[in-house]
């Protein structure tokens, strides 16, 4: 039995104190926005990825799954309290989380993140933990692809017909699971491109310094991400802002530090769009559907689709560097025929 430490007892008390104070959040991007991001991420995947993730059927499935984590909200008090803060991140006007954590130097894990927030007398359930929703999901997708690679290899190279048939069945099932995992996880990547999900000013400027004297604009969150997107944004508009894919160096692993650095840059870019968003809103751009508002929103949706496309492709490329099973066996060795393997781990 693991005995609770002073840290664990303090954290538990702090968690209890902040659950009741946690702000009510609204969904990030509406259904259409999430569908556009997942759909265009799939449509722009490089040809080197396996066909099962690039097919027309896969694209339809990923599009449908884009809003899934919002559809599931309200599943229960435990489910909601645990998962809702994974959709957002409260970044202050000085660019830090809780006045202490920089996006350029995110803690290496959720426990390290929680410890740093505890020192600032808050928790991930209060200020959000979106970077770790993205990072954890990416690591899972990378392992999904690694398992699929090995199942595919075993379906062709296992030593008996029975083993090959079993591996082929596992390959099909792993493809199904991988698509589901990508589609659901894509929701959090998309949340990271919605500027109002990476700021303390998430639904109106609120209290505190307001150097540009923005009106309060209560309700701007829903107006921007749902009503405006539903009326004015299309996939064709968003597609114009998606750049060509640039592959990674295949010899360079994506470490946890490197992954969190990519996520931090992505979220900083979204946070940089908060003030421009409020300027457009204050000028009535989202109410009138101005050209500036349409271009701004298309660019944010494109950032989400681009990041999701890139992360899916990076997970595929890096999956060959994974190890699977217990004891762990290197995927590269299995695929090269240098490790004994005759089916799923």
Q: How does pLDDT run along the chain (345 residues), one tens digit per residue?
A: 334 444 444 444 444 444 444 444 556 799 999 999 999 999 999 999 999 999 999 999 999 999 999 999 999 999 999 999 999 999 999 999 999 999 999 999 999 999 999 999 999 999 999 999 999 999 999 999 999 999 999 999 999 999 999 999 999 999 999 999 999 999 999 999 999 999 999 999 998 899 999 999 999 999 999 999 999 999 999 999 999 999 888 777 899 999 999 999 999 999 999 999 999 999 999 999 999 999 999 999 999 999 999 999 999 999 999 999 989 999 999 999 987 665 555
Q: How far apart are CA 235 and CA 238, in angstroms?
A: 5
Other C-beta atoms within 10 Å of 161: how many?
8
DSSP summary character for residue 251: T
Residues 304 and 240 sit within 8 Å (Cβ to Cβ): no
DSSP 3-state assignment of 323? strand
Residue 338's pLDDT is what? 85
Q: How far apart are CA 124 and CA 137, in angstroms?
A: 17
| Domains and their CATH numbers in the chain | 6-335 (1.10.575)
Residue 208: in which H helix or E strand, if any?
A: none
Residue 36's pLDDT is what? 98
Residue 342's pLDDT is what? 57
* Residue 128 zone, left/alpha/beta (φ > 0; ψ -120 to 50; rest): left
pTM of the model: 0.91
Residue 11's pLDDT is what? 46
Residues 6+ apart with CB under 8 A from 261: 104, 106
């Amino acid at each position: 039995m693991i005995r609770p430490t002073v840290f664990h007892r303090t954290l538990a008390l702090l968690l209890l104190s902040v659950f009741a104070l946690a702000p009510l959040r609204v969904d990030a991007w509406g259904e259409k926005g999430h569908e556009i991001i997942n759909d265009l991420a799939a449509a722009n995947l490089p040809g080197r990825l396996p066909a099962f993730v690039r097919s027309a059927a896969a694209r339809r499935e990923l599009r449908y799954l884009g809003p899934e984590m919002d559809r599931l909200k309200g599943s229960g008090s435990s489910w909601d309290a645990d998962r809702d803060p994974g959709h957002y991140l409260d970044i202050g006007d000085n660019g830090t989380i809780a006045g202490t954590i920089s996006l350029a130097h995110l803690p290496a894990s959720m426990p390290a993140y929680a410890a740093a927030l505890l020192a600032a007398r808050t928790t991930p359930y209060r200020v959000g933990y979106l970077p770790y929703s993205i990072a954890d999901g990416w690591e899972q997708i990378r392992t999904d692809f690694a398992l699929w690679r090995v199942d595919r290899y075993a379906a062709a190279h296992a030593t008996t017909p029975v083993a090959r048939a079993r591996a082929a069945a596992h390959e099909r099932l792993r493809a199904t699971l991988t698509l589901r995992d990508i589609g659901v996880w894509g929701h959090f990547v998309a949340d990271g491109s919605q500027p109002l999900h990476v700021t303390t000013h998430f639904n109106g400027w609120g209290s505190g310094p307001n150097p540009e004297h923005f009106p309060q604009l209560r309700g701007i969150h829903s107006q921007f991400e749902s009503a405006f997107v539903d009326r004015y944004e299309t996939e064709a508009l968003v597609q114009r802002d998606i750049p060509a894919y640039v592959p990674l160096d295949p010899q360079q692993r994506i470490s946890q530090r490197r992954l969190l650095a990519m996520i931090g840059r992505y979220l900083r870019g979204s946070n940089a769009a908060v003030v421009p968003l409020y300027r457009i809103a204050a000028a009535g751009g989202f109410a009138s559907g101005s050209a500036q508002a349409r271009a701004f929103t298309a660019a944010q949706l494109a950032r989400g689709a681009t990041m999701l496309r890139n992360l899916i492709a990076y997970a595929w490329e890096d999956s060959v560097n994974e190890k699977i099973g217990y004891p762990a066996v290197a995927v590269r060795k299995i695929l090269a025929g240098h490790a004994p393997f005759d089916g799923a781990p």
